[in-house]
C-alpha cells in the first residue's frame, strides 16, 4: 500500500492548489502512469493528466515525481517510494491548467522561434510532384555521411517532453530565455550538413536570451530522459559560435576573456574580466559596473588590485600549447 500525494487544482472551482492523498496497492512492475490510471479509473475520475504512447516516446506524461520531472510511463513506482509515499506534481516553469496538465504554448513558441526545419540549398532542383505509379517526387536527394549524422544524433532523440525546461533555473529567472529544449533543437539544425542557414542561426542564437544566457546549472542534463542532454548541445552551439567568430556579445567576450586571463597568469583576473565581458567600448555597460564595484569594496569582497600569476605557469603554457595544436 502506497500513498500518492497528488497536486490538484481546478481553476473553475478551487480557490487555490492543494494536495490530495490516494492509497493504492501497487501491482507488480507498475509504472507511475499505471498507478495514475488506476487512481483515475477506480478512485477519482476527475483527476487530469496527459498520456499517450506509454512507451517513453511521445513525452506527454512528464510530471514531477518527488520534486523532479520524469516520464510517468518510464518510472517504476518501487524506485520512487519514500516513507510509503510518492508526491506527484505538474512540471515547473509552466502555467497549470488543471491538476497535472500545464500550458505548453510558450514552450512550443520557443521551439518555433529557432526555426526547427532545414533551410535548403536553393540551387537544388525544385520539388517535383510524385508520379502516379511509384515515382519519386520532392527535392533532389542530399546525402549525409555517418560522421555528419553523428553530430546531430543526440539532439535528434529529443521527444519534446519539456522535462529539461521544468527545472531550468535560467528559465525560472527569465521567461524570455529560449530554454534548453529549443537550444538543443537549434543545435540539431546548426550542425546538420544539409542546412544552409548555419551563420544566420548562430547569429540569432547569440543574441540576448539565447545560448549565452544559460548558467550551466546542469539541471536540464540531469532531467532529460533521452540522450539529448541539452547542456551538451548548448556547449556545442557556443563552441561553433566562437569558431565562426561570432563574439560580439557578453557571453562570448566573457569566455575569451576568461581564457586569455588563465593563459597569461594561470588564475582568473577578476578585475579585468567584467570589463572584457561588457566590452571596453561599451560605455553605458562599463558605467553600470561602478555601483557593483563600490558595494564589493565596502564589503571587502574586491579582488587584489595587483594581479599575480601562479608559480606553475610552465604547466599552464604547455596545456594551452597542446590544445592549440
Q: Which three cell numbers stand for residue 250?
A: 557578453
Are 282 and 318 contained in the same domain? yes
Q: For residue 194, which of 154, 158, 235, 149 has the smallest C-alpha distance?
A: 149
Q: Which three cell numbers stand for residue 275?
A: 570589463
Does residue 62 form part of some domain? Answer: yes
Q: CB atoms < 10 A from the CB of 251, how many?
A: 19
Tens of each residue's pLDDT in the chain, 325 residues: 999 999 999 999 999 999 999 999 999 999 999 999 999 999 999 999 999 999 999 999 999 999 999 999 999 999 999 999 999 999 999 999 999 999 999 999 999 999 999 998 776 665 555 555 555 555 567 788 999 999 999 999 999 999 999 999 999 999 999 999 999 999 999 999 999 999 999 999 999 999 999 999 999 999 999 999 999 999 999 999 999 999 999 999 999 999 999 999 999 998 889 888 998 888 888 898 889 889 988 988 888 888 889 989 999 999 999 988 7
Are 273 and 315 contained in the same domain? yes
Contact 25, 39 (CB under 8 A): no
Are 220 and 289 contained in the same domain? no
Does residue 137 form part of some domain? Answer: no
How confident is the model at residue 323, as a pLDDT? Answer: 85
Does residue 211 form part of some domain? Answer: yes
Q: For residue 263, which of 314, 304, 212, 325 has the smallest C-alpha distance?
A: 314
Count structural domains, the chain: 3
How confident is the model at residue 258, as a pLDDT? Answer: 92
Does residue 27 form part of some domain? Answer: yes
For residue 84, give the CATH number of its domain: 3.10.20.30
For residue 208, give the CATH number of its domain: 1.10.1060.10
| Distance separating alpha carbons of residues 5 and 66, to the nearest angstrom | 10
Are 109 and 206 contained in the same domain? yes
How confident is the model at residue 293, as a pLDDT? Answer: 87
DSSP 99: T
Are 154 and 221 contained in the same domain? yes
Does residue 228 form part of some domain? Answer: yes
How confident is the model at residue 95, as a pLDDT? Answer: 96
Are 116 and 222 contained in the same domain? yes
How confident is the model at residue 93, as a pLDDT? Answer: 97
Are 45 and 97 contained in the same domain? yes
Q: Phi and psi at residue 161, in whole multiples of 5°?
A: -85, -15
- The boundaries of the domain holding residue 85 are 2-102
How confident is the model at residue 35, as a pLDDT? Answer: 98
Q: What is the pTM of this model?
A: 0.88
Contacts of residues 263-271 at CB distance under 8 Å and 24 or more positions apart, as own/partner, are 263/316, 263/317, 263/320, 264/309, 265/307, 265/308, 265/309, 265/310, 265/313, 266/309, 266/310, 266/312, 266/313, 266/316, 267/307, 267/308, 267/309, 267/310, 269/303, 269/307, 270/303, 271/303, 271/305, 271/307
How confident is the model at residue 129, as a pLDDT? Answer: 58
How far is the first Cα of the chain from the last one, in angstroms, to the nearest whole number?
61
Does residue 52 form part of some domain? Answer: yes
Does residue 262 form part of some domain? Answer: yes
Last residue of some domain: 207, 222, 243?
A: 243
Are 213 and 113 contained in the same domain? yes
Are 238 and 117 contained in the same domain? yes
Last residue of some domain: 243, 260, 295?
A: 243
Are 97 and 121 contained in the same domain? no
Are 27 and 84 contained in the same domain? yes
Are 210 and 111 contained in the same domain? yes
How confident is the model at residue 71, as a pLDDT? Answer: 98
Amino acid at each position: 500500500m502506497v500513498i500518492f500525494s497528488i497536486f490538484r487544482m481546478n481553476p473553475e472551482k478551487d480557490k487555490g492548489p492543494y494536495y490530495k492523498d490516494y492509497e493504492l496497492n501497487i501491482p507488480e512492475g507498475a509504472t507511475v502512469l499505471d498507478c495514475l490510471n488506476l487512481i483515475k479509473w477506480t478512485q477519482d475520475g476527475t483527476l487530469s493528466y496527459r498520456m499517450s504512447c506509454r512507451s517513453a516516446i511521445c513525452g506527454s506524461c512528464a510530471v514531477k515525481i518527488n520534486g523532479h520531472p520524469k516520464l510517468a510511463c518510464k518510472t517504476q513506482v518501487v524506485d520512487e517510494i519514500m516513507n510509503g509515499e510518492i508526491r506527484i506534481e505538474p512540471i515547473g516553469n509552466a502555467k497549470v491548467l488543471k491538476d497535472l496538465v500545464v500550458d505548453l504554448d510558450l514552450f512550443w513558441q520557443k521551439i518555433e522561434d529557432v526555426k526547427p526545419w532545414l533551410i535548403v540549398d536553393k540551387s537544388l532542383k525544385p520539388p517535383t510532384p510524385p508520379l502516379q505509379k511509384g515515382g519519386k517526387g520532392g527535392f533532389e536527394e542530399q546525402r549525409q555521411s555517418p560522421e555528419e549524422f553523428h553530430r546531430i544524433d543526440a539532439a535528434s532523440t529529443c521527444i519534446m517532453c519539456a522535462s529539461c525546461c521544468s527545472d531550468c533555473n535560467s528559465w525560472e529567472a527569465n521567461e524570455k530565455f529560449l530554454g534548453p529544449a529549443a537550444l538543443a533543437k537549434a543545435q540539431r539544425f546548426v550542425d546538420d550538413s544539409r542546412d544552409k542557414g548555419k551563420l544566420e542561426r548562430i547569429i540569432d542564437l547569440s543574441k540576448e536570451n539565447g545560448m549565452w544566457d544559460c548558467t550551466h546549472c546542469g539541471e536540464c542534463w540531469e532531467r532529460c530522459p533521452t540522450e539529448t542532454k541539452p547542456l551538451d548541445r548548448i556547449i556545442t552551439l557556443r563552441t561553433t559560435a566562437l569558431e565562426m567568430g561570432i563574439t560580439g556579445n557578453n557571453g562570448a567576450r566573457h569566455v575569451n576573456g576568461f581564457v586569455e586571463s588563465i593563459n597569461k597568469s594561470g588564475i582568473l583576473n577578476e578585475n579585468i574580466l567584467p570589463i572584457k565581458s561588457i566590452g571596453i567600448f561599451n560605455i553605458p555597460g562599463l558605467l553600470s559596473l561602478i555601483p557593483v564595484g563600490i558595494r564589493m569594496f565596502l564589503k571587502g569582497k574586491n579582488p587584489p588590485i595587483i594581479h599575480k600569476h601562479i608559480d606553475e605557469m610552465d604547466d599552464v603554457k604547455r596545456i594551452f600549447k597542446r590544445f592549440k595544436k
